[in-house]
Amino acid sequence: MPSERETEDQEAMRRAAAAARAERAARARAAAEAARAARAARAAEPVRVVDKHDGLVRTAHWMHVPLLFGLIATGLAIYWAAPVFRHAPSPGNPRGDYFVDIGRGLAALFGQNGDMPYWFYEHFSVGPMQLANALRLHWLFAYLYMACGAIYVAGLVRGGGWRALLPRASDPAEALAMMRYYLGVIPHALARKPWPHPPIAGKYNALQRGAYFTMPLVGALVVLSGWAMHKPAMLGWLERLFVNYDGARIVHFTCLVILGGFTIPHVILAVADGWDTVRGMVTGWSTRWKGAPHA
Amino acid sequence: MPERAKGPSLGARLGDALRRAAKAAAERPEASRESTRGALAKRSRRDFLLFGLGVVATGAFAWWLLPERAKRTWLPGAADRLDTLAGRVGLTRMQREAQLDRVLTFDDDVAEALFSKERRVRTYDRPDPGPLMNNYHGRTPGPDFLPDWRLNLTGLASGKSESLTIDELRSRFARHDMNTRLVCVEGWSHVVAWGGLRFADLLAAYPPAPGMRWAALRSNVSLDGAGNPEPYYVSIDLETARHPQALLATHHAGAPLTLAHGAPLRLVVPMKLGLKNIKAVTDIAYTAAEPADYWNERGYSKYDGL
C-alpha cells in the first residue's frame, strides 16, 4: 500500500497537471479566438474594387476559347478536302496545297521519318480524311459560337461595357504613344531605367480598344462568310457580298488568321499585365481602379 | 414681311442629336466601390470553382467529340484509358454519333426553313472554264446501257409505273438552259452550263400519288472505284424538285451529256450540294417517307440545302 505522503504527492501532481492542461487549453482558445478575430478583421478589411467585366462577357470570353480551337481544328480538316490557296502541282503534292508543304517542313523539323504530306492536318486539325466528322463538329461549334457572340453582345449592353470599346478621336495619337511604350519596355528594363506608362484616361488604351473593337467585327465577318459558304443559294445576296463562293472562303480563312493571331499577343499581354487582369476575367472585379496606389 | 417664328435650324437639331448620341456613347467614369476582403474572397472562390467545373466539363466534352483518328494522334498513350473513363460516365461513342446526327438534323432544319421555291439561285453569264467533275472516286460506266436506258417512274397518282426513253423526255418537255454554280461538300465549286427539262414539268405530267413528299432518285449503272456495280441514290424533297431551277439535265456545255457527266439524264439541283446531283438517273420513286441517301449513310447530312 502506498504511504499517505505518496498519495498526497500524487494528488498534487495530478492537480498541477490538470491546471497546466487547463491553462494550455485556455491559451489555445485565446489564440484561436485571436486568430479568428484577426481573420474576421482581415475579412472585414475594406478593399476598393472596380467591376470590370459583366458576367455574360466573362462567360462568352471563356466559352470562346475552346470554341475557337474546335472551329479551327475542324475547319482545317474541311479545308483539307479542297484547299483554296494552291500553287501549281508539284511532286507528291498534286493539288498544290501549301499546308502539305508546310506539314512536310514541320515534320522534317521535328525529326519525323518518312514522307508526311498530312503532318500539318494530323497535328493542327482533327485529321485528314475526316470530312464528314469535321463538318458535323464544325456546325455544332459554329452554332455555339453564334450563341457565344450573342451572349457577349448581351453582356456588353447589360454592363455598359460597349462604351469603352468605341473608337475615339484621340486614338491614333494614343496608339502611337503605346507602340513607342511597348517598343521601349524591354530595352529600358535591361538598362534598369524608368520607362513610365503613357497616361490612359479610360478602361483601355488605344491599342487595346482597337483590338477589342475589331475582334467582335471579325467574329461577325467570320460568321457571315461562313453562312455565305453554307447557304450560297438561298442567301445569294450574302455570297455576293463576298463577290463569289471562293471570295467567302478567302474571307473566312483570313478571319481565322486574324482571330488566331490576336489570341497569341492577347494571352502574353494579359499574363504580363498581372494576376489582377487574369483574375478580373474570371471574377469580374479588379483592385486597379483609377487612382489606386499601385495602378 | 412678317417675321416667321423660327425654331432651331435642321443643322442645329442634327448637331444636337449627334452631341446627345456622343454623350450617351461616351465612356463613363470608372465607378469604384468599397467591398471587403472577405466578400471578395467568397466571390472569387465561387467564380473559380465554376470556372474549374467549366474547364473539366469542356475537357470531357471535347474528348468525347474528337474523331478517333485525332484522339490517337494527339494522345496516343492515353486514348484507350480516357475512352474507358468517358464511357463510364455515359459519354460513349454511340452517344456521340447520335448527338452529332442531331446536330446535322438541326442544321438541315435551318436549311429547310431558309429554302423557298420562289427564290432563284444565282446564275452566271458564262460557265467557268475547264472540265471539272467528281465521280466520287467511282468509274465512269461504259456506253452499253445507253440503248436500253429508260427512266422508270413509280409512286405515281395513276397507280401505274412509267418507263420513258430519252427521246420522249427530250421531245415532250421544254428545254431550259442555265449557268449555275455546282458546290461540292468538299468546298470547291464550278459554274456549269446546263440544259434539260424542269423536274417540275415532269412532276406535272406524271403527278406523284397523294401524300408523297419525297423523290428517291437512283442510278443503277453507277460503279464503284474498282469498276464494280454500285448503285448511287439520293433523296430529294418534292419542294426542291418543284423549284424552277431543279433540272433533269440532258445537256452540258451546250452538248448532250457525256457518260462522264451522267448521260443520258442527270439531276441538277444548284440549291443542293453537288453530291445530290445524281448522274445517269435510272429510277425515280415518289415516297411518303424519307428515302435512303447514299452519303447520309456515310455521315453526311440528309437535306444538303445550300
**B contacts of A79 (beta carbons < 8 Å):** 187
Per-residue pLDDT of chain A (295 residues; tens, 9 = 90+): 556 777 888 889 999 999 999 999 999 999 999 999 998 988 889 888 989 999 999 999 999 999 999 999 999 999 998 888 989 999 888 889 899 988 888 888 887 777 888 888 988 898 889 999 999 999 999 999 999 999 999 999 999 889 889 988 888 989 899 999 989 988 999 999 999 888 888 888 888 898 999 999 999 999 999 999 999 999 999 999 999 999 999 999 999 999 999 999 899 989 988 899 999 999 998 988 876 654 4
Ramachandran class of A279: left when φ > 0, alpha when ψ lies in -120 to 50, beta otherwise = alpha
Asked whether the beta carbons of A135 and A142 are under 8 A apart, the reply is: no
**Within the 153-192 window of chain B, which residues sit less than 8 Å (CB to CB) from chain A?**
181, 183-189
Contact assignment for A45 to B36 by CB distance below 8 Å: yes
- Count of residues making up chain A: 295
* CA-based nearest distance B27→chain A, Å: 5
| Residue B48 contacts A where some CB pair is shorter than 8 Å | yes
**Structure confidence by residue, pLDDT tens digits, B18-44:** 999 888 888 888 888 988 999 999 999
- Nearest alpha-carbon partner for A236 in B193, B114, B109, B273: B114
A182-191, Cβ contacts within 8 angstroms, sequence gap of 24 or more: A182/A207
B191 CB neighbour count, 10 Å cutoff: 20
Cell of residue A190, nine digits: 535591361
Asked whether the beta carbons of A286 and A49 are under 8 A apart, the reply is: yes
Question: How far is the C-alpha of B267 from the C-alpha of B247, rounded, in Å?
Answer: 6
> Which of B35, B63, B74 to probe the A interface (max A CBs under 10 A)?
B35
Mean pLDDT of chain B: 90
Confidence (pLDDT) at B104:
93
From the number of C-beta atoms within 10 Å of its C-beta (0-12, 13-18, 19+), residue B22 rates as exposed
| Nearest Cβ partner for A127 among B31, B34, B69 | B69
Confidence (pLDDT) at B263:
86
- The dihedrals phi and psi of B247, each to the nearest 5 degrees, come to -110, 150
Question: How far is the C-alpha of B80 from the C-alpha of A204, rounded, in Å?
Answer: 47
Question: Averaged over B152-168, what is the pLDDT?
Answer: 94
**Structure confidence by residue, pLDDT tens digits, B192-202:** 999 999 999 99
Contact assignment for B73 to A122 by CB distance below 8 Å: yes
Sorted by where each begins, the domain ranges of chain A are 53-131, 161-295
- In chain A the first and final C-alpha atoms are separated, in Å, by 79
* CA-based nearest distance A131→chain B, Å: 8
| Nearest Cβ partner for A231 among B67, B101, B306 | B306
Sorted by where each begins, the domain ranges of chain B are 40-111, 122-298
Contact residues for A266 (Cβ-Cβ < 8 A; gap 6+): A211
* CA-based nearest distance B51→chain A, Å: 7
* Chain B residue with the nearest C-alpha to that of A66: B58
Question: How far is the C-alpha of B30 from the C-alpha of A163, rounded, in Å?
Answer: 12
Contact assignment for B69 to A290 by CB distance below 8 Å: no
Cell of residue B36, nine digits: 471587403
Contact assignment for B119 to A234 by CB distance below 8 Å: yes
Cis peptide before B264 (omega within 30 of 0): yes
**B contacts of A51 (beta carbons < 8 Å):** 31, 33
Question: How far is the C-alpha of A239 from the C-alpha of B181, rounded, in Å?
Answer: 12
| Nearest Cβ partner for A46 among B36, B114, B115 | B36
Contact residues for B164 (Cβ-Cβ < 8 A; gap 6+): B150, B151, B153
How crowded is the C-beta side of A16, counted as CA atoms within 13 Å?
Answer: 6
**B contacts of A290 (beta carbons < 8 Å):** 29-30, 32
The angle formed by the CA atoms of residues B197, B201 and B206, to the nearest 5 degrees, is 120
Confidence (pLDDT) at B242:
96
Confidence (pLDDT) at B131:
67
Contact assignment for A236 to B66 by CB distance below 8 Å: no
* Chain A residue with the nearest C-alpha to that of B41: A43
| Residue B21 contacts A where some CB pair is shorter than 8 Å | no
| Nearest Cβ partner for A45 among B37, B181, B298 | B37
Handedness of CA A226, A229, A234, A238 (dihedral sign): positive
**A contacts of B111 (beta carbons < 8 Å):** 231, 234
| Nearest Cβ partner for A49 among B40, B69, B104 | B40
Contact assignment for B47 to A78 by CB distance below 8 Å: no
User: In which band, very low, low, confident or very high, does the pLDDT at B155 lie, cut at 50, 70 and 90?
Assistant: very high
Question: How far is the C-alpha of A104 from the C-alpha of A243, rounded, in Å?
Answer: 33
Contact assignment for B32 to A232 by CB distance below 8 Å: no
Question: How far is the C-alpha of A201 from the C-alpha of A199, rounded, in Å?
Answer: 7
Confidence (pLDDT) at A295:
42
**A contacts of B122 (beta carbons < 8 Å):** 232-233, 236, 239-240
Asked whether the beta carbons of B269 and B217 are under 8 A apart, the reply is: no
| Residue B57 contacts A where some CB pair is shorter than 8 Å | no
Contact assignment for B187 to A70 by CB distance below 8 Å: no
Asked whether the beta carbons of B272 and B304 are under 8 A apart, the reply is: yes
Size of interface A-B (CB pairs under 8 A): 168
Confidence (pLDDT) at B133:
62
Contact assignment for B187 to A249 by CB distance below 8 Å: yes
Contact assignment for B47 to A283 by CB distance below 8 Å: yes
- Nearest alpha-carbon partner for B281 in B243, B224, B234, B241: B234
Question: How far is the C-alpha of A144 from the C-alpha of A62, rounded, in Å?
Answer: 13
Contact residues for A215 (Cβ-Cβ < 8 A; gap 6+): A259, A262
**Structure confidence by residue, pLDDT tens digits, B121-149:** 999 999 998 767 666 566 888 899 999 99
Topology at the third CATH level for domain B122-298: Sulfite Oxidase; Chain A, domain 2 (3.90.420)
Q: Residue B4: is its pLDDT beyond 50?
A: yes
Task: Spell out the SS3 assignment of chain B.
Answer: CCCCCCCCCHHHHHHHHHHHHHHHHCCCCCCEEEEEHHHHHHHHHHHHHHHHHHHHHHHHHHHHHCCHHHHHHHCCCCHHHHHHHHHHCCCCHHHHHHHHHHHHHHHHHHHHHHCCCCCCCCECCCCCCCCCCCCCCCCCCCHHHHHHCCEEEECECCCCCEEECHHHHHHHCCCEEEEEEEECCCCCEEEEEEEEEEHHHHHHHCCECCCCCEEEEEECCCECCCCCECCEEEEEEHHHHCCCCCEEEEEECCEECCHHHCCCCEEECCCECHHHCCCCCCEEEEECCCCCCCCHHHCCCCCCEC
Q: Residue B93: is its pLDDT beyond 90?
A: no
* CA-based nearest distance A143→chain B, Å: 9
| Residue B91 contacts A where some CB pair is shorter than 8 Å | no
- In chain B the first and final C-alpha atoms are separated, in Å, by 67
**Within the 253-282 window of chain B, which residues sit less than 8 Å (CB to CB) from chain A?**
270-272
Task: Spell out the SS3 assignment of chain A.
Answer: CCCHHHHHHHHHHHHHHHHHHHHHHHHHHHHHHHHHHHHHHHHHCEEEEEECCCHHHHHHHHHHHHHHHHHHHHHHHHHHHCCCCECCCECCECCCEHHHHHHHHHHHHCCCCCCCCCHHHHHHCCCCCCHHHHHHHHHHHHHHHHHHHHHHHHHHHHHCCHHHHCCCCCHHHHHHHHHHHHHHHHHHHHCCCCCCCCCCCCCCCHHHHHHHHHHHHHHHHHHHHHHHHHCCCCCHHHHHHCCCHHHHHHHHHHHHHHHHHHHHHHHHHHHHHCHHHHHHHHHCEECCCCCCCCC
> Which of A72, A95, A119, A126 to probe the B interface (max B CBs under 10 A)?
A126
Question: How far is the C-alpha of B295 from the C-alpha of B291, rounded, in Å?
Answer: 12
Contact assignment for A163 to B28 by CB distance below 8 Å: yes
Confidence (pLDDT) at A293:
57
How crowded is the C-beta side of B115, counted as CA atoms within 13 Å?
Answer: 23
* CA-based nearest distance B254→chain A, Å: 23
Question: How far is the C-alpha of B255 from the C-alpha of B177, rounded, in Å?
Answer: 11
